[in-house]
């Protein structure tokens, strides 16, 4: 057999294997570990893990600054449409539950059309999350804007600080 025919066949075989192998999914800029910061007091309130599951973006509380890990979301309703965890929401722990859910990718770093439940009062709000790269002007470091809305664009934004898993998991009482 001709050497060039063998090399061509080998090239196509290797190329076919490369494209048939599942590729590692690139992490979106919004994903990772974040510290939520109260926009009024500028105090850190919770450590979060923002991650993708099933093509949707979710946010799970890993620790809270002013509450022990055993606090239940007792002020929540029993259920919410599309909530990502089965069971009675008002009996779930605040820490370890994904309170942000259902966001879809609009463009890299920007997720929209999701929801956030405030476990302190049980309120359900529309949610969008936008990653802002440090620009040395408005943003001195990378931040994540978490915006909760009640409708017609009325709502508020919090600007969260990038952190690591250890720090996000270590706030508050144990």
Is there a domain that residue 50 lies in? yes
pLDDT above 60 for 173: no
Position 151 confidence tier, pLDDT thresholds 50, 70, 90: confident
User: What's the rounded Cα separation, in Å, for the pair 124 and 64?
Assistant: 19
Beta strands in 13-80 (DSSP E): 32-37, 44-53, 56-64
Is residue 85 situated within a structural domain? yes
pLDDT at 59: 98
Is residue 9 over pLDDT 70? Answer: no
20-37 residue pLDDT tens:
333 445 689 999 999 999
* pLDDT 10s digits, 57-102: 999 999 999 888 889 999 999 999 999 999 999 999 999 999 999 9
Which segments of 38-172 are extended strands (E)? 44-53, 56-64, 98-107, 110-117, 124-132, 143-151, 154-163
In this structure, are residues 163 and 34 in contact, taking their beta carbons and an 8 Å threshold? yes
Residue 89 forms part of a structural domain: yes
Most confident of 63-77, 96-110, 134-148: 96-110
173 lies in some domain: no
Kindly state whether residue 114 falls inside one of the protein's structural domains. yes
pLDDT above 60 for 19: no
Cα 94 to Cα 20: distance, rounded to the nearest angstrom:
41
What is the pLDDT at residue 38?
86
Predicted confidence at residue 83, as pLDDT, reads 97
Per the structure, the count of domains in the chain is 1
Torsion angle in degrees (nearest 10) through CA of 24, 108, 99, 174: 70
**100: containing domain:** 26-168
Looking at residue 12, what is its pLDDT? 36
Q: Is residue 12 assigned to a domain?
A: no
CATH value at residue 88: 2.40.128.520
Compute φ and ψ for 93, nearest 5 degrees. -70, 145
User: Would you say residue 106 lies in a domain?
Assistant: yes
- Model pLDDT, residue 40: 85
Is 4 inside any structural domain?
no
Arithmetic mean of pLDDT over the chain? 85
Work out the number of other CB atoms within 10 angstroms of the CB of residue 40: 8
pTM given for the model: 0.82
């Amino acid at each position: 057999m001709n050497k060039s025919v063998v090399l061509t066949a080998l090239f196509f075989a290797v190329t076919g294997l490369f494209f048939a192998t599942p590729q590692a999914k690139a992490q979106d800029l919004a994903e990772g570990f974040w510290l939520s910061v109260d926009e009024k007091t500028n105090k850190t309130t919770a450590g979060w893990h923002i991650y993708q599951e099933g093509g949707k973006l979710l946010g799970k509380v890993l620790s809270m600054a002013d509450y022990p890990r055993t606090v239940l979301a007792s002020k929540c309703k029993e259920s919410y449409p599309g909530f990502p965890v089965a069971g009675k929401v008002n009996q779930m722990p605040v820490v370890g539950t994904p309170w942000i859910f259902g966001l879809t990718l609009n463009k890299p770093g920007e997720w929209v059309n999701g929801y956030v439940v405030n476990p302190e009062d049980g309120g359900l709000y529309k949610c969008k999350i936008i990653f802002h790269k440090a620009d040395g002007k408005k943003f001195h470091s990378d931040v994540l804007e978490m915006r909760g809305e009640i409708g017609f664009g009325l709502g508020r934004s919090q600007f969260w600080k990038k952190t690591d898993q250890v720090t996000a998991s270590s706030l508050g009482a144990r």
